[in-house]
């Protein structure tokens, strides 16, 4: 009997609370936040602004025409704002590359092809060098000499990267005038034991001050689609560099302003300067937003005139 009475009291409390909320909504009274659904709440703490440093990246490297393999080689398309040198290290030891990058930060600035060869040539299967003219995006082919008989780099996990391609300036004048002095690209090349198609694994920018920044893609929102990566942009644990203006696409929340904010850590560029003030989660992937940065100087940090983005806050 006591159990029945307890259940009846709980049911009455629930009915009373439900009726109370419905009456409040019907009267237009603001619902207390403690009984709101989490998806209806607004961001109460502003998203921290990521401090940016704008620099110009003088290097670019893309994979060329397929096919690519360890035995047949791989084609790449380098480009540079000034004449540069492309140095390809086949079978470069992972530990040697990590040590070289750490050395750049702490001891020796790796600003030329000669310095990279001193650091890596003894820790790779072979090294090839190409001279690239200013602004030309010509396709170059590099491969391990067949006489070495290298068919693969062993089972996973591997101690060597198949290919490490390094771009540096060809003359000291351009090197001294640029903040970025080298770009390191780690490339996966398929072989007999690991047949995943060739692709770029990592790209790093080395600065004249000893900084090492990792290039990462930003996922742009264009016509409501933020799933396609944009041109890779450099990022680092404490600093992100070089963002381009002229972003195409409308904010996925209000649909009335241009996209100008990149959310971190998911890297979706999908909201405007106004809507970013209201978000706690990314409207594309629902990841929690820790920081955000602007692609271009914001014109105004005022909320948009479009509908309230309650459906994308939680």
Question: By 3-state DSSP, what share of the chain in percent is helix, strand and coil, each rounded to 5?
Answer: 25, 30, 45
Position 38 pLDDT exceeds 70: no
Q: How far apart are CA 220 and CA 258, in angstroms?
A: 12
Spell out the residues 6+ positions from residue 272 whose beta carbon is closer than 8 angstroms to its own.
Answer: 251, 253, 254, 256, 257, 258, 259, 260, 261, 304
Instruction: Please give the mean pLDDT across all residues of the chain.
Output: 81
pLDDT score at 1: 60
Position 92 pLDDT exceeds 90: yes
Q: How far apart are CA 82 and CA 171, in angstroms?
A: 9
Q: What is the pLDDT of residues 256-287, one digit of tens each?
A: 899 999 999 999 999 999 999 888 899 999 99
pLDDT score at 222: 57
How does residue 308 score in pLDDT terms, banded at 50, 70 and 90?
very low
pLDDT cut 70: percent of the chain above it:
77
- SS3 category, 98: helix
Q: What is the pLDDT of residues 149-182, one digit of tens each?
A: 999 998 888 999 999 999 999 988 888 899 999 9
Between 3 and 65, name the one with better pLDDT: 65
pLDDT score at 229: 52
3-state secondary structure 209-265: CCCEEEEECCEECECCECCCECCCEEECCCCEECCCCCCCCECCCCCCCECCEEEEC
pLDDT score at 245: 40
């Amino acid at each position: 009997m006591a159990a029945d009475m307890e259940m009846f009291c709980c049911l009455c409390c629930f009915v009373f609370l439900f009726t109370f909320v419905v009456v409040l909504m019907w009267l237009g009274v603001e619902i207390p936040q403690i009984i709101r659904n989490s998806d209806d709440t607004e961001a109460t703490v502003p998203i921290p602004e990521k401090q940016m440093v704008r620099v110009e990246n003088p290097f670019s490297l893309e994979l060329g025409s397929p096919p690519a393999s360890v035995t047949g080689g791989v084609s790449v398309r380098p480009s540079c704002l000034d004449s540069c040198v492309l140095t390809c290290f086949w079978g470069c030891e992972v530990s040697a590359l990590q040590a070289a990058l750490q050395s750049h930060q702490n001891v020796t600035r790796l600003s030329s092809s000669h310095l990279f060869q001193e650091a890596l040539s003894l820790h790779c299967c072979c090294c090839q060098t190409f001279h690239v003219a200013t602004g030309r995006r010509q396709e170059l082919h590099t491969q391990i000499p067949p006489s070495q008989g290298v068919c693969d780099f062993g089972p996973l996990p591997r101690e060597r990267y198949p290919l490490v391609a390094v771009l540096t300036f060809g003359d000291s004048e351009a090197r001294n005038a640029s903040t970025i002095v080298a770009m390191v690209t780690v490339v996966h090349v398929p072989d007999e034991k690991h047949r995943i198609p060739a692709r770029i694994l990592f790209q790093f920018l080395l600065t004249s001050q000893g900084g090492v920044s990792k290039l990462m893609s930003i996922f742009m929102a264009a016509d409501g689609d933020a799933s396609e990566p944009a041109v890779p942009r450099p990022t680092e644990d404490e600093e992100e560099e070089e963002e381009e203006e002229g972003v195409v696409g409308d904010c996925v929340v209000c649909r009335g302003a241009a996209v100008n904010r990149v959310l971190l850590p998911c890297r979706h560029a999908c909201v405007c300067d106004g809507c970013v003030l209201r978000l706690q989660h990314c409207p594309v992937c629902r990841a929690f937003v820790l920081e955000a940065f602007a692609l271009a100087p914001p014109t105004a940090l005022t909320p948009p005139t479009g509908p309230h983005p309650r459906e994308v806050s939680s």
